[in-house]
Amino acid sequence: MKKVKLPKIFILDTNVILHDFRAIHNFQENDIVIPITVLEELDKFKKGNDSINYNSREFLREMDKISDNHLFDKGIRIGEGLGLLKIELTHPFSDQMLQSFFEDTQDHRILATTQWVKEQNPDRVVALVSKDVNIRLKAKALKINAQDYLTDKITEDRVENIKREVVHLENVTKETIDQLFYKEDGVSVKEFKIKNPVSNQLYAIKNPTGNNNVLARYNKPTNSLFGIKRQRAYGIDPRNDEQTLALDALLNPDIKLVSLTGTAGTGKTLLALAAALAQEQDFDQILLSRPVIPLQNQEMGFLPGDVKEKMGPYMLPLYDNLAVISKAFKPTSREAVRIEEMLKNEKLLITPLAYIRGRSLSNSFFIIDEAQNLTPHEVKTIITRAGEGTKLVFTGDIHQIDSPYLDIHSNGLTHLGEKLFGQDIFAHINLVRGERSELSELAGKLL
């Protein structure tokens, strides 16, 4: 007789819920256990404006909707086709844990609960799900299965595709290349023998002699390629092909959402800001923001001054890029004076990201810097705030993540590039060459 395969049991760590408040709906028919310690930790996060505070509140509301007396007993069904949800009270540390861990911490209580559940269910697979690498290592030391939260993780091959976003075409005739810039409706993809192109796909095209190289973008409505010309934006010239492609997307009114990735010094934020200033007449406001990882809401009060003074040190990179653009002009020039005017009347506003959430952004050019430190849910929240006439630009380095619970596969910037790639109003460019200085480029390559 064939043995019936029993559902698995997943114990969720607090950080999984703070990352995605709907996580309990993503484990199919498997059962979920929430240690009571997790509810205790969530209570500390329910006040505040950050996404983790929102996720804490929403999860507790979700629990309140589906809870009854069985939540602490045999568990209750989460939904049709889904497993049971149960809250497990704290259990004593095992002798093994007492010998290994000398502190009574929240993490250790979650491990004790997981170990107890495993002992009570020897015929089922029991696993701890956490975004904290350290607790996963401790779990494995105790012979407990442990894994990351995988629902919104991007696979390695898709991450590599994001890095290699430009497609190279060789042996294209000079006559065909010339048509890219002269034909109003572009050149049909049939001329290039391209199969299944996606909207806004970028191409680097070479002729057989190698003397006539151009950049092009695929336009889905006309099923053709258009040549991309070098453009200057508010005193800033592109220094390489990728920057040329980036400025083309940033200055294109038909592209409402742009993702720029690349290592430090590749010009992501500078290009985005220059493009915004070049189009300031088309927008009511230019907004620049970035997530603040070193500080949480509860720590902000310890810094002296008002909001601007508190956030000043963390917004310095944005001001630095603004200074670079200003230096391209004489201090008395119209462009330099205009920047000062925009800062003064807040048409150009550098602001904390927490103050953007909850707003409806209409006819704005919104730059979100260091977006690799945002979760996929945070990126979605920001994009859904975009009203008519708004353009959003996300910039960041997916290899330089400061958030302890995000990595190259699960951060919001990677998620954005993978999920929206090929959409008509979205463009992604990966900048590969550092242009800050020769020293910066050398360090980026060798250190």
Order of strands across the sheet that contains 145-147: 76-77, 84-88, 31-35, 9-12, 126-129, 145-147
* Token output for 116: 């107890």
pTM score: 0.82
Q: What is the pLDDT of residue 286?
A: 92
Please tell me the class of the 9-147 domain.
Answer: alpha beta
Question: Greatest CA span in the chain, whole angstroms?
Answer: 88
Q: What is the pLDDT of residue 291?
A: 81
The matching CATH number, chosen from 3.30.70, 2.30.130, 3.30.160, 2.60.40, for 154-229 is: 2.30.130
- Judge whether 302 and 411 are in contact, CB under 8 Å: no
Residues of the chain with CATH 3.40.50.1010: 9-147
Q: What is the mean pLDDT of each run of 10 residues along the chain (447 residues)?
A: 78 94 92 94 86 88 76 82 91 90 92 95 95 94 93 74 75 83 83 86 82 83 89 90 93 94 88 94 91 50 53 69 86 88 88 72 92 90 90 93 85 90 91 71 65
Q: What is the pLDDT of residue 176?
A: 84
- 112: nearest Cα among 97, 100, 128, 101: 97
Q: What is the pLDDT of residue 102?
A: 87
- Judge whether 67 and 14 are in contact, CB under 8 Å: no
Q: What is the pLDDT of residue 296?
A: 41
Q: What is the pLDDT of residue 192?
A: 85
CATH number of 248-446: 3.40.50.300
